[in-house]
Structure formats: structure tokens, C-alpha cells
Amino acid sequence: MAENSSDQAATSVTSTGGDDITPNKDGGVLKKILRQGEGEDRPLAEDKVSVHYVGTLTDGTKFDSSRDRDDKFEFTLGKGQVIKGWDLGVATMKRGELAQLTCRPQYAYGKRGSPPKIPEDATLIFEVELLDFFGEDISEEKEGGIVRRVIKKGVGYDRPKEGAIAEIHLLGTYNGLVFEDRDVQYIVGETATDHGVVEGVDYAVTKMKAEEKWRVQLKSQFAFGNEGKKDFNIPARAQVEYEVELKNFEKVKESWQMDTREKLEASDKVKAKGTTFFKGGKYKEAVTQYKKILDYLEFDADRIEDEEDKKSAGQLMLAAHLNLAMCYLKTDEPYEVINHCSKALEKDPNNEKAFFRRGQARFTIRDYEEARSDFNAVLKIDPNNKAAKNQVTTILHHQKKEREQEKKLYGSMFEKMAAQGCEVDSRGKHGGDSNKLEGREMDGADKDITMKNDKDSAAGEP
Amino acid sequence: MADDLKTVLQKYAEKSCQDDDLDPEDKDVFLVSAQKCLENGETDSETLLREVSNTANAGFMCEVGWDLLPVVTPFLTAGKAPDTVQQHCRGVLGALAEVCKPKEFVLGILEKLEGLEDDNVFKALLTPLQRVLQRLTGKRAHCIGLTLTTLHSHLTEIPLPSKNKPQDPEDESWRQFGVDMKDKHVGRLLDTTEALLEFVQPFVQMARKDSSIEAAMNKEELKDLEVLRKELVKFLTRLFKYPLVYLNLEELPVKEEEETPGTEETGQTQEPQQNRCRLCAQTNMSYLQALDPSFSRLLGLCDHYCGPPDMRAKRKTKSADKQQEGEEKTEEDDGKEEASLLGLCCFSYLLFVENICVEKLPAVLSHEFLGAIHIVLICEVLKKPHRPVIHKGLELTKKLLGNLEPFSLSYEILELQPFAVLPESLIHVMVNCPTKSLRKLAHDQFTAYVEKFDWRGRYQLLRGLMEKTEGHAGVMGLIIGKVKDQIDTCLKDDPPSDWFTGNKLSELLRKILHLPDGATTDLLDNRDWIMPALNLLRYLVIRDKPDQNQTGVWTDWPDVEKGFLRQLRTGVNLSKSHFQEELKKTRLKQKNTNKPEVQASIEVAGDKMPDMPYEQQIMVLESSMQMFSVIESLLGRITEVTETYRTGEKPQGKIYKRETDWKCSDFHAAEDDKDAVYMTCPCCGEKTKMPPGFEPPKPGEELKQFDIELGPPDDDLQYL
């Protein structure tokens, strides 16, 4: 049967004829205009379209007809709701046009057909009349508040969720005059007003895909409301139009859902986000961001085959470790600092910052000997590093003091032993005092260092 | 009594010309005497009927109808009054429906229907209700909608067919739901459903899509018509939701049932097999089709669910002042929609699986679209505990998936959450559903679903599932099996896809070749995971030679050896010696005592379980030992193969001798022993004699450790 129908298809295609409208010109969809339409407008992707149609097989069997049902058929164009031949064909039609579309199986129901009506491997012939089309109102109320037309189709399926960062381009027009033309980056559903993004646009963005471009007509309640906007010369209760392009947005994906390239891109974004948090003093949040880089790349970094990618992955990992170390310095978690610095040094054995930060961390846990060797390593790389020099002096100072203290302690211990438990109180007081003193000095040193390093890390790692 | 009645009516007839108002006293007298008429029996009740139907009394009846209703209805309760009286009661109601003020009378009946338990009364009220609704003029959609809601809530009071049998996996009796007339609820359910379908018929007729009628209507009428359609569709999908989705709607097989003497009494078997449930469903579908010729409304509803759900729920385009009021409203709407998921599912099942009215479906919709708009429905439906519901969901999945070509879905679609959730729902059925046939169906759909995706999609699906079901050994085993299938298919491509080789595969392997608690992992608990994992590894080392390293398994071999194989060997040795010891002890005890001695007591829900006899204990221990041996032999096989690659020649003797003293050849059958059990040895594929005490599998029973997950030994042939 399959053979039969394809044979017939071959013969009848010539008889039905028409222009090939497939993008790759494979003759899969032929269109013949039976009656011209009106005007110049054609439906755009995702427009609501209503048609009447009659479908026949190549042997003349009528398999479906909306006219027989007396019910016009409505669908959304270009979303794969209908067979491929239709999405292509109807998009070329004008209002009122009557056309014949001949769709080969690969543009219809393919090898399997669609039982019970469409046999296997069948070419379908449709007589389609485009009755009407209009942009979809995407607002909840469906009162024409936000009507959109898709100018350029996007990629993928994902859309920005609330709380995701989106980069958009806005072109606002009122009465045909442009009042706004700019790039905006903002957090969807959160910082729209801060960035002067009107409600209707903010809402529209949640329905767009990456790289998609829309024209949206907004009624005033979704734009500038009853006040209008003086800066833009927009009066009260004005209907405005925007061209919105969603250039990019943050996708929330698990590491394993991405390929290498995506992981690198995501890492870059996460790093930037972390740096913003860091600058704002939100260290905990910054840590979560930087840790994501490790999550993304830890496993892949050494296995990437592309040299360039491998290099940038290495750099990202290094930056992540260094920045994490910096964050942990801020949150007083010296062991984490040491851990991340050591990892950074595995990647880059001559990293000045890694040595410096590890030194700082070791200093805070009074691991003076180790700390000094770290700072010395810094000086070996950059002999002019003043902060490191200062650190070494401070350490020496502390070590000296510690030794003195020890001496005193042991000394007093011996005294104590000699005195057999007398003067317990005075000893305790003495010890407390010295601790306090030390603490103050450490604070001072810390401040000095962190100030220098704030400068370092605020710019982010290279 | 009848005289009193006549007197009042007479009085009114004289008066009515001048005065519209009815004397309350007269009304009371009338109602009391009407009551008595009905109590007195058929002659008096007939008089009542005659008087009520008398057109001369229409004015009076119009006034008094609302009050007469509660007087009459109690007599309709089954067994309350003689049949003829009930007949007269119905006549009275019918007459009242013709003369009373429609709105008032509708409300009166609805009031009676609320909380009504008696089917007899219910059915008796339907006809006058239908009549009076038809008499409504102007805006009637709202009134009809209200009525339909009340009527359906009566239906939901009737319980579903009961099921007494315990949950036996082979038990297929749920398929009889709604067909088995012996069940006391089925009759009630179907009678009522049929009555309701009959009730709604004139309204469907009224609202059917017909452009010639619509053309003659004004705007108001059109709007009302649209609302009416909406109400009717809502009601009809509610019938799907309850009870139809719970019943068997399949065409009954044509067969002569001889073993059903019980049904003969009810007269069921005399007619050709007719599934009344299915007839109801068919009627319902034809109504829907009349209202919505291309089913665009219903499919649109399905489509509505497929948008990213988080977006739908949170964002509303509401201006601030309307916000609060609006939110409440939509919430309510959402609740209703949610509830009708089952109804929509049943509709789609009838349309696509049972092919009822499918010829009306526009033949231009793409298979992908039809699949996509059902995915949320299916996910929801599979979570339900009712087998007929799950069955419909699975059959629908099967049908919709069957239309798609392999590799036709892109991984990108997984960004839409429901697509990632569907396999979880299928697994949910596989794990939790007590019925074997449904579990199997779910498994097949799972396999089919994975295959509709491109390589990356398959990877993401399987990997995502591992993430979500981590810890469940059985599910892990299942996924591992699928991973193996994917690798096998993938290696046939040239070049093989990146997603099941190299880095991506080794990411998977890190998840798969993993013992949750290292060497101390409970091997018995995790056998459903470990066995397929070993099997996969064996497949890989045999299929992929180190010098080719197509899959990249050799890149990570040191990690696999250290992190998995070595720990597993230790684990097996530990478990074996432990169980060996246990076995010895138990055997000794068995020898020494005749009576089973209490070692530990197990309580289930407060009841003490009987102690396991020693023979059984020994059997359990032995079969566990068996399992360890199989793990060992698989381990041995893997080591053997890798060793061969390393040294360049096949090692002398069986290499796993080093690890253990167990040899599979010990069990190989030299000659057939009638009493012994023979099974295929997993490591060499030879027929193997099972140790004494090994219980032979019953016909059809699956023995996991031997037959199912291990795959054919043919894999080895490529190597040997």
C-alpha cells in the first residue's frame, strides 16, 4: 500500500504542482495559490491563525475537512502544533488567500502515517483558506492588555524564571515615535521597576525564549498607567508599543545537564555573580556562586580536549579557588582558606595570591612557621611585595613574643610549682592580659592585609 | 380528603378572577389534603394527579407548586408508597413542571436533590427538572450549570466498585471494573450515569454547534450559548472524571462465557457482550463532539497544562487594585481545572486509544504536539492508586509514543519540566503498582520514551533519574540496564555519540560503579544495583578493547579498580564468610534440635510472626551464598578479561580461583540428574547444576540473579 501511494504521489505532484516553499528546496511542500488574498500582511510565528481546509489523499480520498464539520480550525502558527507542511505553508499566506498545499510524508505524518485516517508514507493535499490571524494576547485577563507578535523566533524551550538575570534590548515607541532604545540587564520579576522596565515587558520576558524578538502592544495599565511619563512625553492612559529582544538569560541547570561549552559559559556568569556578591559584602552568597564553578568544572577540567577550552577551564578553576579563599578569609574559616589555596597552588604552583592568602590563614591559626614560608614564597615571586614583607616582620615579632610568653608561662609554672598552688589568681589575670594584647595587634594586621586584597579581588581574578 | 382538595380548588377558581393573592390558609388546607391523598392510596392520589394536571387549576398550581414539591417527593422514596401512587407522584411533578415559574421550581428541585441519597427520588426528579429547564427563557446557561453541578455531586456520592480480593500481582480482576454486574455499586453508578446522560441530551441539542442557527442569534444569546457550552463540556468531562475513568471502557472480547452461572439470572449473558460503561462513554463523546466539533476546546485545555507550570502559577498580569479579588478567583479556577485532569485524561484515552470519534479530530495536528499536550495529564494520572486509571494513562502513553519516531525529540524539550517528570512517573508505577501487567506496560513505555530522544536527551534523562532515585537499588539497576542498551546502540554508530562514550560516560560510570558504603555495603540489599553494574562493566571490557578505548572505560580503569572492584571483592569475601558461619551455626542447630528454637521474634503491626523453620533459614542463607558466588564469578570474569588484555594472553585456568575457592565448573552438569535444578551459568553460559536445597523456580517466575539482568553470555563469544 505504501508503494502504491508513493507512486501516485509522484504522478499527482506534477499534476498538482506549485512553488516549492521548503527552506532547503527539497520539494516537500508545494504551494499553488488558488485565490489571491488581500493586503500585504502575513501571519507571524506564534500568531493565532484560523483556517478552513479540505484534506485529500493523492488518490482523491477526502480524509478530513473543517468545512464538513462546520467548524473553522484554529491553531498557533510555527510552534509545531500542526504538521510541518502547514507551519511552512500557512506562514506564506495572506488574509483571505485560498491555496493548495501538497505535503510530502516527511512534512506530514511520515512513514508511520496517522491511523486510522492517514495511511503510511502518504502525501497529503490540502486546500487551505486563511480566514484570519492575530497576535496573541498573553495577559491573564485576555482583554488585549499585552498583545504580542513574534518578529524573530528564539532557540530552545527554556524561558527566564523569576529571579533570573535577563539581558534585553528595548525599543519603545509611542505614536510611532521612539522614546526609549537601550540595553537593560535586570532580574526578572524583581528589579524591573528599578531599571525602568514596565510591567508588561517584564511579564512578556517570562514567556520569551533566548534570542527571541517580540513586538508587544501594551495597554496603559501594563505600561505607564494613569500618570504617563513626562520624560518620554507619554500622556496618561497611553497605549505604547515595545520591541523586546531577549538577548540572554541565566539558565538554572545542573552540571550534568550541560556540555563543556555550556559549563564554561555558566562558570563565567557565576563568577561575575559571585564577584558582585563579594563586593556587596555578601560572602556566604559569593561562596555558593564560586563553588558552582568547581561543581561545573572539577571533573571536566583535565579531560577537555580542546586546548583553548582546557586553558580557560583551568583559569576559571584557579580563580574559583582563589576567590573562595578570599571569601573564607572574610568569614574566618582559615582551614577552608588553606585548603583552597593549596588546590590553587596545584593548578599554578607560583601563584602569588594563593601563597599570600594561605599565609594569612596560617597566621590566624598561629601556624607561624608555615605562614612565614608562604610569605617568603610570595617574596620570592615578587620581591617588592610590601604587604608580604610586613607580614614576615609581624610574624617574626609574634614568634618572638610567643617565645617570651612561653618563657614566662613556663617560668610561672615553675614558680607555681614552687609556690604549691599559691597566687593562682594573679597568674590567670596575667595570661588574660597578654591574650588581649595579642588579639588587638592581630586585628590591626588583618585590616591592613584585607584592604590590599580587597583591591585584588574586587576586580575579580584574571 | 379528596373532597377538601376539591373545595379549596373550587374556592380558588371562583376567586382567581379578581384576586391574584392566595389565601395562606387555603394553601395550607390544600397541602395538608394533598399529603393525605397520597397517604390514602391510589384512588385519592389519582384525584390529586387529575386536579394538578387540570388546566383550569394551572394558576393555583403555579402559586402552590414550590410548596407542593416537598410534600410529594418523600413518597417517591423506594418502598415508601405503592407503585401506582409513585406513578401518580411522578405525574404530579410532571404537571407542576409545566405550569410553575421555571426559576423557582428549578431551585425547589435542586434543594430537594441536595444531600439526597435515594436513587428513586433522584431519577423521578430528573424528568420534571429537565422539562422545567427547557421552559427557561433568556439567560439559562447559569441555571443549567448550577443544576448540572448539583446532579454530578449526587453521582459522586455513589461509591466505586469494590474490590475485595487481596493484592495478587497476577490478579486482573480490576479489568472487570464496571463490567462485573455482580458488584452492587456498578448498577447504581451506571443507572445514574445513563439517566444523567439522557437528562443532558436536550441541552446538548440546544447548544450544538450550528452556524446557521448561530447566525440568527443576537450578541446576548450568543454569549449565553457560549456559557452554556462551557457548562455542558464541564459537566461531561466531570462524568469522565467520575465515574467513567474508574471503569473499564474497553470493548469486551467476543467470547462465550460458560462459567458464569451467576450472571445468567441478571440476564446479562443472553445479549451479546455489551459494555454499558463503554456505551456511556460513547454517548458522552458524541455529545462533546456536537458541542465542540473538532475538540479544539478540550485539546486546548490539555495544552494549557503544558506550559511551564511554575510560570503559570506565580505570575499574574493583574493591576494592583484588582489583585486580591482576582487572585482568589483564579485560585478557585485552578482547583477546578486540577480536578478535571482525570476527566481530560479519560477523554483523550477514549479518543486516541479506543478511537471513539477520532475521525473528527483535525488531521493536521502533529504527533509531537498531541504527545506534548498530554504529558502533564499522564504524569498526574500515573500517580493515582486506581488500577483502571493507571491503565488508561499507560495505554494513552503507549499510543501517543507509538506515533513518534526514534530520535525525534530533542534534549532541549527536557527544559520543560513535565518531560523530565514522565519517566519518574513511569518508574513510580514500576516500583509501586501491585499489578504485574501494569508494571510491565510502564516498563515498556519507559524504554520507548527514552528511545524517542536524541543521544543527549537520553543521557540527560537517565542521568537525571539517577540523581533523583539515588539509593533505590532496583531503580538504579533498571537505569543501568538502559545505560547499557544505549551504549550498545551508540557504539554501532560511526562515530559513536559523545554522550555515551568518553567523559560523559565516565561521569555516568562514576555514579554506577559505586558502593554506597564502600566494602561494608550490604550486598544483599543492593544486589539489584550491583549485578547490573557488574554486568555493564563486563560488557564494556569485552566490547571495548584497551587499544581502541572507544568508550573511554580504560581511561578511568585505575579508579574503577580501586574504587569499585577492589572494595566489592572485599565486600563479597566479608559477606561470604559471615554467611558461611551463619549457615554452619544454623545447620548445627538444626541437627541438635528437632523443635525450632526461638532466636529472635519478629513483630509486624504488633502481631508476632511465626519463627522461620530451620530448613527455610538454611535455604535463605544458601541462596544468598549463591548470589555472592555469582557476584564473584562476574568479578572473576572481568578480572580475567582485563588480565588478558594486560598480559596479552589468556590466563591459565580460571583467574577467580585466586579470589575464592568457588568454581562455576563445580556446578556444571556432567550428566542430567533428575532431581537437580539446572540453570544457565552467568559466567560461562553453560548449564549448571544448582546446589542441593535450591528451590527450582516456578514456571514464569523470574530469578533475578540468574536470568534477567545478566544479559546473554553471547557477549563473551566476541572475546573468546
For chain A, positions 17-76, list CB contacts with chain B under 8 A: 53, 55, 63-64, 66, 69-71, 73-75
Position B222 scores a pLDDT of: 87
Check CB contact under 8 Å for B362 and A257.
Answer: no
Q: For residue B457, which of B422, B494, B491 has the smallest C-alpha distance?
A: B422
Q: Is the pLDDT at A255 greater than 70, yes or no? A: yes
Burial of A135 (0-12, 13-18, 19+ CB in 10 A): buried
What is chain B's length?
Answer: 720
**CA of B312: which chain A residue's CA is closest?**
A140
Q: How confident is the model at residue B674 (pLDDT cuts 50, 70, 90)?
A: low
For chain B, positions 29-48, list CB contacts with chain A under 8 A: none
CATH number for the domain formed by residue range(s) A255-394: 1.25.40.10
Class of the CATH-defined domain A146-250: alpha beta
**CA of B404: which chain A residue's CA is closest?**
A112
3-state secondary structure of B482: helix
Taking one residue from A and the other from B, the number of pairs with CB-CB distance under 8 angstroms is: 113
Q: Among positive and negative, which fits the CA dihedral A372, A377, A383, A384? A: negative
The answer to whether residues B234 and B242 touch, using CB atoms and an 8 Å cutoff, is no
Check CB contact under 8 Å for A70 and B293.
Answer: yes
Query: Which residue type, as a one-letter code, is found at position B699?
Result: P
The answer to whether residues A195 and A275 touch, using CB atoms and an 8 Å cutoff, is no
Q: List, for residues B53-100, the tens digit of each pLDDT value.
A: 888 888 888 888 888 888 888 888 888 888 888 888 999 999 988 888
pTM of the model: 0.77
**Residue for grid cell 540595553:** A183
Mutate which: A54, A61, A69, vs B, most B CBs within 10 A: A69
The grid coordinates listed for A444 are 590591626
pLDDT above 70 covers a percentage of chain B that reads 75
Check CB contact under 8 Å for B355 and A116.
Answer: yes
- As a whole number, the mean pLDDT across chain A is 83
**CA of A252: which chain B residue's CA is closest?**
B415
Residues of A classed as catalytic: 53, 63-64, 83, 109, 126
**CA of B417: which chain A residue's CA is closest?**
A158
Alpha-carbon gap, residue A289 to A324, rounded angstroms: 9
Query: Which residue type, as a one-letter code, is found at position B459?
Result: Y
Q: Degrees (nearest 5) of the Cα angle A185, A189, A194?
A: 55
Phi–psi pair at B453, nearest 5 degrees: -95, 160
Q: Is the pLDDT at A445 greater than 60, yes or no? A: no
Q: List, for residues B492-531, the tens digit of each pLDDT value.
A: 888 889 899 988 898 899 889 988 888 888 888 888 899 9
Check CB contact under 8 Å for A189 and B463.
Answer: no
Check CB contact under 8 Å for B317 and A74.
Answer: no
**Residue for grid cell 501517543:** B400
Beta bridge partners of A187: A165
Alpha-carbon gap, residue B389 to B375, rounded angstroms: 15
Task: Judge whether B556 is closer than 8 Å to chain A, CB to CB.
Answer: no
Q: Where are the beta strands (DSSP E) in B330-459?
A: none
Task: Judge whether B226 is closer than 8 Å to chain A, CB to CB.
Answer: no
Phi–psi pair at B501, nearest 5 degrees: -140, 175
Q: Is the pLDDT at B664 greater than 70, yes or no? A: no
Q: List, for residues B598-624, the tens digit of each pLDDT value.
A: 555 556 555 665 667 778 888 888 888
Alpha-carbon gap, residue A340 to A276, rounded angstroms: 20
Which residues from B are below 8 Å from A154, CB to CB?
none
Which residues from A are below 8 Å from B210, CB to CB?
70
Which residues from A are below 8 Å from B464, CB to CB?
254, 256-257
Q: List, for residues B152-204, the tens digit of each pLDDT value.
A: 988 888 888 766 544 566 667 767 666 666 677 788 888 899 999 999 999 99
Check CB contact under 8 Å for B311 and A206.
Answer: yes
CA distance A80 to chain B (A): 6
Burial of B414 (0-12, 13-18, 19+ CB in 10 A): buried
Mutate which: B298, B351, B364, B403, vs A, most A CBs within 10 A: B364
The answer for residues whose C-beta is within 8 angstroms of residue B277's C-beta and 6 or more apart is B178, B179, B190, B244, B247, B248, B249
Alpha-carbon gap, residue A399 to A362, rounded angstroms: 13
User: What's the average model confidence in pLDDT over B368-382?
Assistant: 89
Check CB contact under 8 Å for A162 and B314.
Answer: yes
For chain A, positions 236-255, list CB contacts with chain B under 8 A: 254
Check CB contact under 8 Å for B294 and A303.
Answer: no
Q: How confident is the model at residue A141 (pLDDT cuts 50, 70, 90)?
A: confident
Check CB contact under 8 Å for B310 and A118.
Answer: no
Position B693 scores a pLDDT of: 52
Which residues from B are below 8 Å from A55, CB to CB?
363-364
Q: Among positive and negative, which fits the CA dihedral A354, A360, A365, A366? A: positive
Q: Is the pLDDT at A446 greater than 70, yes or no? A: no
CA distance A153 to chain B (A): 15
Q: List, for residues A156-188, the tens digit of each pLDDT value.
A: 888 888 778 899 999 999 998 999 999 999 988
Alpha-carbon gap, residue B569 to B632, rounded angstroms: 7
Q: Is the pLDDT at B535 greater than 80, yes or no? A: yes
Q: List, for residues B200-248, the tens digit of each pLDDT value.
A: 999 999 888 887 888 888 888 888 888 899 889 889 988 998 888 888 8
| Three-class HEC string of chain A | CHHHHHHHHHHHHHHHCCEECCCCCCCCEEEEEEECCCCCCCCCCCCEEEEEEEEEECCCCEEEEHHHHCCCEEEECCCCCECHHHHHHHHCCCCCCEEEEEECHHHCCCCCCECCCECCCCCEEEEEEEEEEECEECCCCCCCCEEEEEEECCECCCCCCCCCEEEEEEEEEECCEEEEEEEEEEECCCCCHHHCCCHHHHHHHCCCCECCEEEEEECHHHCCCCCCECCCCECCCCCEEEEEEEEEECCCCCHHHCCHHHHHHHHHHHHHHHHHHHHCCCHHHHHHHHHHHHHHHCCCHHHCCCHHHHHHHHHHHHHHHHHHHHHHHHCCCHHHHHHHHHHHHHHCCCCHHHHHHHHHHHHHCCCHHHHHHHHHHHHHHCCCCHHHHHHHHHHHHHHHHHHHHHHHHHHHHHHHHHHCCCCHHHHHHHHHHHHHHHHHHHHHHHHHHHHHHHHHHHCCCC
**Residue for grid cell 538502559:** B482
Position A188 scores a pLDDT of: 87
Give the C-alpha distances (Å, rounded to integers) separating A73 from A53, A129, B687.
8, 10, 64
The answer for residues whose C-beta is within 8 angstroms of residue B320's C-beta and 6 or more apart is none
Q: List, for residues A298-319, the tens digit of each pLDDT value.
A: 877 777 778 888 888 989 999 9
| Residue bearing the bigger pLDDT, B669 or B60 | B60
3-state secondary structure of B480: helix
Instruction: Report chain A's terminal Cα–Cα distance, integer Å.
Output: 67
Task: Judge whether B474 is closer than 8 Å to chain A, CB to CB.
Answer: no
Task: Judge whether A137 is closer than 8 Å to chain B, CB to CB.
Answer: no
Position B524 scores a pLDDT of: 86
Mutate which: A64, A193, A218, vs B, most B CBs within 10 A: A64
Position B445 scores a pLDDT of: 95
**CA of A85: which chain B residue's CA is closest?**
B364
Position A316 scores a pLDDT of: 92
Position B689 scores a pLDDT of: 56
Position B441 scores a pLDDT of: 94
Check CB contact under 8 Å for A256 and B467.
Answer: yes
Check CB contact under 8 Å for A146 and B317.
Answer: yes
- As a whole number, the mean pLDDT across chain B is 78
Identity of the residue in A69, A82, A299 whose CB atom sits nearest the CB atom of B360 = A69
Exposure on the CB side of residue A87, measured as CA atoms within 13 A: 17
Alpha-carbon gap, residue B612 to B618, rounded angstroms: 10
Q: For residue B424, which of B481, B389, B468, B392 has the smallest C-alpha distance?
A: B468
Tell me what ipTM this predicted complex has.
Answer: 0.75
Give the C-alpha distances (Å, rounded to integers) separating B617 from A107, B586, B603, B609, B693.
64, 8, 17, 14, 11
Q: How confident is the model at residue A202 (pLDDT cuts 50, 70, 90)?
A: very high
Q: List, for residues B275-329, the tens digit of each pLDDT value.
A: 888 999 999 999 999 988 888 888 887 777 655 443 334 444 443 333 333 333 3
Task: Judge whether B503 is closer than 8 Å to chain A, CB to CB.
Answer: yes
What is chain A's length?
Answer: 462
- Domain(s) labelled CATH 3.10.50.40 in chain A stretch across 19-134, 146-250
Range of weakest confidence among A145-159, A339-353, B317-331, B539-553: B317-331
Range of weakest confidence among A415-419, B115-119, B344-348, B496-500: A415-419
User: What's the average model confidence in pLDDT over A260-266?
Assistant: 86
User: What's the average model confidence in pLDDT over B644-668?
Assistant: 49
Identity of the residue in A157, A254, A300 whose CB atom sits nearest the CB atom of B412 = A157
Cis peptide preceding B682, ω within 30 of 0: no
| Residue bearing the bigger pLDDT, A223 or B265 | A223
| CATH of the domain spanning A19-134, picked from 3.90.1150.10, 3.40.50.620, 3.40.50.1820, 3.10.50.40 | 3.10.50.40
The answer to whether residues A157 and A42 touch, using CB atoms and an 8 Å cutoff, is no
Position B10 scores a pLDDT of: 73
Position A456 scores a pLDDT of: 43
For chain A, positions 149-168, list CB contacts with chain B under 8 A: 156-159, 161-162
User: What's the average model confidence in pLDDT over B461-483?
Assistant: 89
Task: Judge whether B413 is closer than 8 Å to chain A, CB to CB.
Answer: yes
Q: Degrees (nearest 5) of the Cα angle B583, B587, B593?
A: 145
Q: What would you report as the CA-atom Rg of chain B, rounded to the nearest whole angstrom? A: 36
Q: Among positive and negative, which fits the CA dihedral A359, A363, A369, A370? A: negative
Task: Judge whether B256 is closer than 8 Å to chain A, CB to CB.
Answer: no
Identity of the residue in B293, B366, B507 whose CB atom sits nearest the CB atom of A82 = B366
